């Protein structure tokens, strides 16, 4: 199931702001500004931002790092009672990890027209052929999430990068 957030004062804003804070940390260290938090029983159990450049690791997406942290915190790879908040629609790798981790709820900020795998290009998290599906809500604080990414890439282009 996919839902598009239409009310800017959604209850999800609190946690998306936490994910945006992680994205700003990525921005500050010259990483693509994507942030993620995982919530369990009303509290943050994992928070991360993209670290592909600093770790030289193509899998070091915010979601992947947060999923690993959450599994360690809970002592289980099954993140059954968790919600993942991420500022950018997950890519195919991250969407696959969400399915594998059994995360029941995904909330993201802005769509990813080049790699979005939960709504835009693919619907991996909702594919009934897989053994698990996640409820997906997109568009939470989309303008803020998109704006941070646009600012980052404008700076990068001005520097002759990315």
Give percent of the chain with pLDDT exceeding 90. 91
**Is 63 in the active site?**
yes
Q: Where are the beta strands (DSSP E) in the chain?
A: 2-4, 35-40, 43-49, 82-88, 105-110, 135-138
Q: Write down the pLDDT at residue 9.
A: 47
Average pLDDT over residues 145-152: 98
Whole-angstrom distance, CA of residue 5 vs CA of residue 147: 17
pLDDT of residue 19 exceeding 80, the answer is: yes
- Among residues 25, 63, 72, 151, the one annotated as catalytic is 63
């Amino acid at each position: 199931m996919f839902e598009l957030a239409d009310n800017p004062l959604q209850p999800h804003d609190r946690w998306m702001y936490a994910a945006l804070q992680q994205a700003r940390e990525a921005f500050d260290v010259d990483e693509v500004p994507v942030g993620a938090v995982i919530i369990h029983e009303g509290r943050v159990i994992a928070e991360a931002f993209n670290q592909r450049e600093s770790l030289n690791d193509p899998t070091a997406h915010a979601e992947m790092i947060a999923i690993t942290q959450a599994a360690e915190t809970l002592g289980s790879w099954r993140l059954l009672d968790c919600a993942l908040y991420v500022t950018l629609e997950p890519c195919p790798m991250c969407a696959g990890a969400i399915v594998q981790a059994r995360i029941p709820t995904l909330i993201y900020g802005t769509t990813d027209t080049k790699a979005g795998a939960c709504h835009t290009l693919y619907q991996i998290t909702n594919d009934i052929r897989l053994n698990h599906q996640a409820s997906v809500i997109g568009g939470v604080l989309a303008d803020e999430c998109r704006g941070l990414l646009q600012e980052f890439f404008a700076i990068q282009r001005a520097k002759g990068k990315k």
